[in-house]
């Protein structure tokens, strides 16, 4: 049984239920030729069991999808029956679902004391920010979590390595894909994996797995039997994102490149100017995040935080100019960002977070002692001084050998359902 079958089909509050009933009523009135039919359909929808619900029209089901502000509720919706699953995949705004609801947190459980002299295996649970009472078991094999090194996440998949062997594992179902082994790396000397990402969902015919090391960028077309290699000189690719169909890479010196996939792998330096404000230090741990059609660079400083000044700085890449420019932003209206402790996990953005109980212009970050912490972005006063904020939690990012708590969207959000 799939893990999401254990929760109710819907977890809507009273206001959402009223709105869903209103939309059902509007649809029935608009599409019914007589009062008799309205009464008949209304009685049919009022039954306590699910009989007849599988026959609801797609327009109505799409309206229901629009009311679900939770990744787990959307999964439950799609798992209800075949017609509802088809309606989920045919939703006209499905490609933007990852911007309209928060990601799910894969949280590493607190370490359990040994029992009978044997340490308990590390376990991970799934936590939904829109309903913190949710707590589901992660389905990834314990052997992977214990023996493989974490190297990144992408399109709902977690990427692991053990020396040259690679595994791509669905974060929710635990399904595994095993690419061919990487070529020899520096005569078997361990080389860290700085960045690992897919260029498209695994099922896509254009999907490729990109892996960055100290001296190379490797490319595996999903389903093929070999990797190609791009030798790098004084460049360490730390992050790769997709913006409007174009892949953009950033190295460890905040330099930006356009990434070419075909006919062969290549990096092209993208000249960029800094417009206004102070250029962030390389010590500010910068990361890129996509907000629909915007590319942001977020830099944070623990020193600034201790001094009581701005915790984060925001810059937006303006590509309509030549050269392109980083333009400073004072705040991020209507958006919230989600970032994990491992620098190889992609940050996410969510629009109108108040819809599920979140805050705009805030950074949600994972922490080992709490599910997550929250801080203001830009030049807002620090959130820890807000009376409604929880206790102060230090935010930091690094590379970890084993997976830490991280944010992820279900792979089904990126699939076409075929």
User: Which pLDDT band holds residue 234 (cuts at 50, 70, 90)?
Assistant: confident
Residue 328 pLDDT > 80, yes or no? yes
- Does residue 86 sit within a domain? no
User: Which pLDDT band holds residue 266 (cuts at 50, 70, 90)?
Assistant: very high
- The whole-number pLDDT of residue 179 equals 95
Residue 413 token pair = 């959000």
- The whole-number pLDDT of residue 79 equals 84
Residue 268 pLDDT > 90, yes or no? yes
Each residue's pLDDT tens digit, 357-402: 899 999 999 887 778 888 888 766 554 444 444 445 667 788 888 8
SS3 track for 239-276: EEEEECCEEEEEECCCCEEEEECCCCCEEEECCEEEEC
Residue 157's domain comprises: 139-270
Residue 289 token pair = 């995040």
Residue 412 pLDDT > 50, yes or no? yes
Residue whose pair of structure tokens reads 């420019």 in the numeric block:
325
Express the helix, strand and coil content of the chain in percent, nearest 5 each: 20, 30, 45
Predicted model pTM: 0.82
> Averaged over 131-159, what is the pLDDT?
85
Give the least confident one: 25-39, 204-218, 229-243, 360-374. Answer: 25-39
Taking Cα atoms as reference points, which of 329, 348, 327 lies closest to residue 339? 348
- The whole-number pLDDT of residue 35 equals 43
- Does residue 65 sit within a domain? no
Q: Could you tell me if 109 and 371 are in contact, meaning their C-beta atoms sit under 8 angstroms apart?
A: no
- Does residue 406 sit within a domain? no
- Does residue 208 sit within a domain? yes
> Averaged over 79-88, what is the pLDDT?
88
Between 154 and 282, residue with greater pLDDT:
154
Question: Which of 142-146, 185-189, 220-224, 362-366 shows the highest mean pLDDT?
Answer: 220-224
Number of domains comprising the chain:
1
- Does residue 252 sit within a domain? yes
- Does residue 180 sit within a domain? yes
Residue 271 token pair = 């000249």
Peptide bond into 263 cis (omega under 30): yes
CA distances from 87 to 65, 99, 105, 309 (A): 9, 19, 26, 48
For helices 82-89 and 58-67, what crossing angle results, to 10°?
70
> Averaged over 81-96, what is the pLDDT?
88
Taking Cα atoms as reference points, which of 100, 74, 104 lies closest to residue 87? 74
> Averaged over 66-92, what is the pLDDT?
87
Each residue's pLDDT tens digit, 28-65: 444 444 443 334 344 444 443 445 677 888 888 898 88
How far is residue 7's CA from residue 5's CA, in Å, rounded to a whole number?
A: 6
Give the least confident one: 84-98, 271-285, 286-300, 317-331. Answer: 271-285
> Averaged over 104-113, what is the pLDDT?
73
- Does residue 79 sit within a domain? no
Between 98 and 15, residue with greater pLDDT:
98
φ, ψ for residue 207, nearest 5 deg:
-70, 135
Helix boundaries (H) for 90-202: 97-100, 142-147
CATH number, position 200: 2.120.10.30
What value does the mean pLDDT of the chain take?
79
Q: Could you tell me if 233 and 192 are in contact, meaning their C-beta atoms sit under 8 angstroms apart?
A: no
- Does residue 76 sit within a domain? no
């Amino acid at each position: 049984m799939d893990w999401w079958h254990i929760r109710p089909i819907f977890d809507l509050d009273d206001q959402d239920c009223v709105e869903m009933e209103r939309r059902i009523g509007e649809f029935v009135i608009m599409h019914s030729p007589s009062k008799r039919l309205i009464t008949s359909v209304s009685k049919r929808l009022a039954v306590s069991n699910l009989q007849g619900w599988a026959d609801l029209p797609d327009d109505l089901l799409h309206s229901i999808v629009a009311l679900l502000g939770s990744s787990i509720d959307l999964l439950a919706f799609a798992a209800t029956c075949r017609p509802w699953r088809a309606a989920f995949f045919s939703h006209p705004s499905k490609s933007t679902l990852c911007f309209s609801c928060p990601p799910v947190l894969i949280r590493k459980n607190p370490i359990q004391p040994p029992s009978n002299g044997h340490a308990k295996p590390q376990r991970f649970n799934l936590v939904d920010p829109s309903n913190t009472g949710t707590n589901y078991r992660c389905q990834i094999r314990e052997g992977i979590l214990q023996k493989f090194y974490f190297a990144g996440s992408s399109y709902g998949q977690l990427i692991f390595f053990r020396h040259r062997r690679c595994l791509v594992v669905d974060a929710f179902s635990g399904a595994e894909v095993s690419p061919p082994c990487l070529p020899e790396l520096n005569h078997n000397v361990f080389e860290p994996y700085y960045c690992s990402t897919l260029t498209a969902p695994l099922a896509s015919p254009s999907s490729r797995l990109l892996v960055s090391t100290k001296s190379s960028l490797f490319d595996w077309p999903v389903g093929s039997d070999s990797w190609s290699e791009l030798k790098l000189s004084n460049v360490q690719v730390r992050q790769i994102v997709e913006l409007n169909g174009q892949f953009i890479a950033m190295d460890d010196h905040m330099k930006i490149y356009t990434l070419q996939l075909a006919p062969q792998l290549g990096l092209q330096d993208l000249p960029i100017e800094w417009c206004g404000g102070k250029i962030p230090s390389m010590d500010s741990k910068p990361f890129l995040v996509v907000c629909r059609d915007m590319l942001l660079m977020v830099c944070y400083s623990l020193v600034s935080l201790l001094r009581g000044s701005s915790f984060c700085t925001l810059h937006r890449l303006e590509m309509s100019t030549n050269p392109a420019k980083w333009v400073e932003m004072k705040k991020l209206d209507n958006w919230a960002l989600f970032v994990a402790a491992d620098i190889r996990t992609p940050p996410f953005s969510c629009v109108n977070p108040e819809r599920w109980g979140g805050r705009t212009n805030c950074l949600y970050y994972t922490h080992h002692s709490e599910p997550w912490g929250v801080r203001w972005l830009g030049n807002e006063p620090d959130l820890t001084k807000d009376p409604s904020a929880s206790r102060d939690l230090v935010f930091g990012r690094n590379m970890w050998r084993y997976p830490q708590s991280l944010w992820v969207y279900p792979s089904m959000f990126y699939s076409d359902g075929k």
